[in-house]
Amino acid sequence: MATHTLSENMTKELEPSLDSFMRGNNLDCPKMIIRYALTHDEPALRARLEWYAEQEGIVLTEAMCDESCSFPLLKISRKRTRVLWQGEEIFFHPSMALLRMLSVLRGEPDRFLQAAGLENGNTCIDATMGLAADTLMAAWRVGEAGRVTALEASPLIAALVKEGLREMAASVPSGVRGLKAEAWKHLIQAAGRIDVLLGDHLDFLRAQGDACQDLVYFDPMFRHTRGQSAALRSFKPWMCHEGLREEAVREACRVARRVVLKERTGSREFERFGFAMEPGGRHSPVAFGVRIKKELIPYVFPESR
């Protein structure tokens, strides 16, 4: 596998070590070091590499032969961009959103959309984007007149998803027809309504005006990877997985008419932050809680009493 060095004006200084990153795995971390390799020496692949070099929070260094290096590998091929680490890989693909879109087009309810209460022309802040399945569904629901701002604290995930959204049309398999082709079309359109931002959602919410959004959505579950998700477990040290903060909920309640929290079924976070549980999904491992503007009276959090 050939590797290619960035042009001199793109070279970035390798500042932090892995130890310093993992000791402070939060939003005050230094930039993330990522090795890179191209499978072919082609202008299109080099252009994608240059795009990654420009992304905030990422420091690129050429991959060496020593695979024991303690940094993830960004592998750019003709088909897709993948990140490899400890024998696992992650890449962006709207597979879960696609399945959900197909269900919606068949007339089946989507629990997230029911809880979100979004309508055409609405605006939404997805405060914990992750791999953007809910983000895409929200962007579809708000329609051409709406907009979704997606915040992600991990430079790795933010860049991977940002590229995936902008290149989604190229991901459509050849020969797709019927309802599946319609679902892809909706997702491609939805991707164009998403603004991906790297940063702390609390800082972003503090900067917003009162009642300026229709929805703020929290899905802090992304920091808890399940048993079957070996790849996400492997990459956990490279992701920011801080729990939901009380101040973030307060700010969300100030900013939006509706605030939605997704957590594990039975989680005490719903009660702790004053969310009313949404009905449905009795046997689902996840649940949704909602706070609506008329309910957003000053709330005394239990730990503040």
* 137 and 252 inside one domain: yes
Give 128-172 pLDDT, tens digit per residue. Answer: 999 999 999 999 999 999 999 999 999 999 999 999 999 999 889
What mean pLDDT, rounded, does the chain reach? Answer: 84
Domain that holds residue 226: 95-304
- Taking 50 as the threshold, does the pLDDT of residue 127 lie above it? yes
Whether residue 296 is found in the same domain as residue 181: yes
Task: Decide which of 25, 45, 79 is a domain's last residue.
Answer: 79
Q: Which residue has better confidence, 10 or 113?
A: 113
Q: What is the secondary structure of the chain as a DSSP string?
A: ----PPPGGG-------HHHHHHT-STT--PEEEEEEESS--HHHHHHHHHHHTSTTEEEEE--S-TT-SS-EEEE-SS-EEEEETTEEE----HHHHHHHHHHHTT---HHHHHH---TT-EEEESS-TT-HHHHHHHHHH-TT-EEEEEES-HHHHHHHHHHHHTGGGGSPTT--HHHHHHHHHHHHHHTTEEEEES-HHHHHHTSPTT-BSEEEE-GGGGS--TT-HHHHHHGGGS--PPPPHHHHHHHHHHBSEEEEEEETT-THHHHTTPEEPS--TT-SEEEEEEEGGG-S----GGG-
Is residue 87 one of the residues assigned to a domain?
no
Same domain, 62 and 119: no
Q: Express each pLDDT in 38-75 by its tens digit.
A: 999 999 999 999 999 999 999 999 886 555 567 889 99
Residues 113, 75 share a domain: no
Please tell me the predicted confidence (pLDDT) of residue 3: 40
pLDDT tier at 212, thresholds 50, 70, 90: very high
72 and 115 in one domain?
no
Residue carrying structure tokens 């993330």: 32
pTM for this predicted structure: 0.84
Q: Answer yes or no: do 247 and 126 share one domain.
A: yes
The pLDDT-based confidence of 100 (bands split at 50, 70, 90) is: very high
The answer to whether residue 19 sits within a structural domain is: yes
Q: Are residues 99 and 65 in the same domain?
A: no
Does 246 score more than 90 pLDDT?
Answer: yes
Q: Which of 79, 105, 121 is the last residue of a domain?
A: 79
Number of domains in the chain: 2
The residue from 25, 48, 79 where one domain ends is 79
